[in-house]
Amino acid sequence: MSPKRENFNSKLGLLLAIVGSAVGLGNMWRFPYLLGSNGGSAFLIIYLVLVFILCTPITLAEYYVGRKTKKDCFRAFDDILKPGPGRIFGSILCFSAFFTISYYIVVGGWIISYFFGCFNFNTFFSADNIKHFENVAMGMGGTPASALQSTITAILFLAISAVVLCGGVVKGIEKFSKITMPVLFFLILFVAIYSCSLDGAEEGIKYLLKPDFSKVTGSTFSNALGQAFMSLSLGCGTLMTYASYSQKDSNSVRTSLLTIILDSCFAIISGLAIIPAVFAFGMVPGQGPELLFNTLPRIFTLMKGGSLVAVLFFFTVFIAALSSAISLMEVLISVVTGSGKVSRGRAVLYVTAATIITGTLCCLSFGPLNGIKLPGGTIFDFFNITSTNIFMTLGSLGLVLLVGWKLGKKDFKSVLADKTPLGSSDVFFNIMFFIVRWVAPIVIVTIMVLGFINN
C-alpha cells in the first residue's frame, strides 16, 4: 500500500525547500560569469527585470497547478486536459526532471571529489592534479580510470540525495532544508566577505557591478532569460511538486516572491564570493567547470587560509547542488508513488536505479564513451542541452498556455490569494495573469526560435 500523500509541516519548511531547489550550480558557476561578461550591473538590471516581471507570473503559474491539483506533475493535468493529452504534457515535465538530474549528478560527483580533496589539500590542489581534473571535467582528457572515479562519486552524490528522500517530505526534504539552507547562506556570506576583503578585490567588484551598457546585445537578453529559468527551476515540475505538498494556509504569493528574492540575492552574493578573489590573484574569470574546478582551486592554493576557505566553499556548493538534486528526484518519486501502488521506499529505489544508468552513461562520456556523438555533442552534452533547451522551455510554454488559456483568471486568483498585500490585490493578479496569458508564451517562443537560429 502506498503511504498517504504528505504535506510540508510548516510554511518555513516549504519555503526553504523551494529555495533549496532554486539555489544551485546555476547560481554559483553560471551567474557570476554571466554577470561579469555581459556588462556587470547592466546585466543585473536586465536579469532582475526579467526575473520579477516575467518569471514571477510563471513561478506563480507552476505553483498554482501544484496547489490546485495536489497531484504529481504527471497526473496534475488529468482533470484539466483529460488523462490522454494531459499526460503527454506531464511527461515533458518528467523528462525535463530526469534529463536534468542525469547530468547534474555528474557535476555533483566532481564537487564531492573536490570537497574530499580539500582534506589532502597540498596534493589534491597541486597544479598537476587540478590540470588532470580539469581535463576530466572538461571532457578533454578523461581516462577509463578517471571516468570510473567520477562515476563512483556521481553515484555517491545520488545515494546521499536518495537517503534524504527516503525520509519523505517532512522528515527528509523539510528537515534537510531547514538545517542546510541557513548554513548555506551563512557560509556563502562568509566567503563573500573574505573574498571582497582581499587586496586587489576592488577590480573584481567593479567588474561585477559597474554598468557597461556597451556589452548589452541581443544575446544578453536570451542569456539572462535562460539563466532566470534555470536558476528558478522553472519547467521541471519541481515547484509544482513542492506546491502540491503545501498546507492549506500557506502563503502562495509570499512564498513565490521570497523564493525569487532569496535566489537572486544568493546569486549576487556568489558573484561577490568568487569574482573579487579571481581578480585579487590576477586571474581571468571563466565560465562553468573551468571557473569552479580550475581557477578557484588555483586561487585557494595562493590564498592565506586557502585550505579552510576551500573546504567551506566546496561544502557550500555541495549543499546547494544536493538540495537541487533532491527536488529533481522528488518530481519523479512523486510520479511513481502517485499511482498509489508503489511505496515511497521502492519509488526512491526505482528512480535512483534509473538515474544511475543515465548518470553513468554521462560520466563515461568523459572517458571510454567519448567517441559517441549525439545531437549537441557527447552523451553528457546531449542530456544537458536537451533538458535546458527543449524540455524545460517546452514545459514552461505548455504550462503558461494551459494556465493562461484553459484555466480562468478567477480560479488562478482564488487558489493563490493569500493575506499579504500583493496576494490579496486584484490589480496584482490581473497583471500576473495577463503576463501568463500573453507575454510569457510570446517571449518563450521567441527565445526558442532565437536559440535554434543561433545553433
Task: Please give the residue ranges that form the binding site for ligand PFF (CB under 6 A).
Answer: 21-22, 24-27, 97, 100, 230-231, 233, 236, 238, 324, 327-328
* Residue 231 vs 250, nearer CB to ligand PFF: 231
Least distance (Å) between residue 90 CB and ligand PFF: 15
CA 131 to chain centre: 27
- Residues with Cβ within 8 Å of 362's Cβ and at least 6 positions away in sequence, in order, are 102, 103, 105, 106, 154, 379, 380, 383
What is the chain's alpha carbon radius of gyration, rounded to the nearest angstrom? 21
Helix axes 201-209, 252-280, angle to 10 degrees: 140
Contact 10, 174 (CB under 8 A): yes
Length of the chain: 455
> What's the burial of 147, exposed, middle or buried (CB within 10 Å: 0-12/13-18/19+)?
buried
Distances (CA, A) of 210 to 29, 162, 275: 20, 42, 13
Beta-bridge mates of residue 377: 374
Least distance (Å) between residue 297 CB and ligand PFF: 20
Least distance (Å) between residue 252 CB and ligand PFF: 18
Assigned C-alpha cell, 27:
547560481
Least distance (Å) between residue 332 CB and ligand PFF: 11
Beta-bridge mates of residue 374: 377
* Residue 21 vs 295, nearer CB to ligand PFF: 21
Q: Give me the DSSP letters along 204-240.
A: HHHHHHS--GGG--HHHHHHHHHHHHHHTTTTSSHHH
- Closest by CA position to 253, among listed 382, 431, 127, 110: 431
Least distance (Å) between residue 338 CB and ligand PFF: 18
* Residue 303 vs 333, nearer CB to ligand PFF: 333
* Residue 146 vs 238, nearer CB to ligand PFF: 238
Written as one letter, the residue type at 406 is K
What is the sign of the dihedral through the CA atoms of 242, 54, 432 and 81? negative
Least distance (Å) between residue 201 CB and ligand PFF: 25
DSSP single-letter state for residue 304: T
Phi, psi of 377 (to 5 degrees): 135, -135
Least distance (Å) between residue 235 CB and ligand PFF: 7
* Residue 203 vs 290, nearer CB to ligand PFF: 290
Least distance (Å) between residue 141 CB and ligand PFF: 26
Element (H, E) at 160: helix 144-166
* Residue 280 vs 328, nearer CB to ligand PFF: 328
* Residue 30 vs 413, nearer CB to ligand PFF: 30
Least distance (Å) between residue 24 CB and ligand PFF: 2
Assigned C-alpha cell, 64:
498554482
* Residue 146 vs 231, nearer CB to ligand PFF: 231
Least distance (Å) between residue 119 CB and ligand PFF: 25
- Closest by CA position to 366, among listed 117, 88, 53, 134: 134
* Residue 105 vs 201, nearer CB to ligand PFF: 105
Least distance (Å) between residue 26 CB and ligand PFF: 3
* Residue 271 vs 423, nearer CB to ligand PFF: 271
* Residue 97 vs 415, nearer CB to ligand PFF: 97
* Residue 211 vs 376, nearer CB to ligand PFF: 376
- Closest by CA position to 20, among listed 134, 153, 174: 174
Least distance (Å) between residue 444 CB and ligand PFF: 16
- Closest by CA position to 25, among listed 138, 125, 103: 103
Angle at 355 between CA 397 and CA 70, to 5 degrees: 50
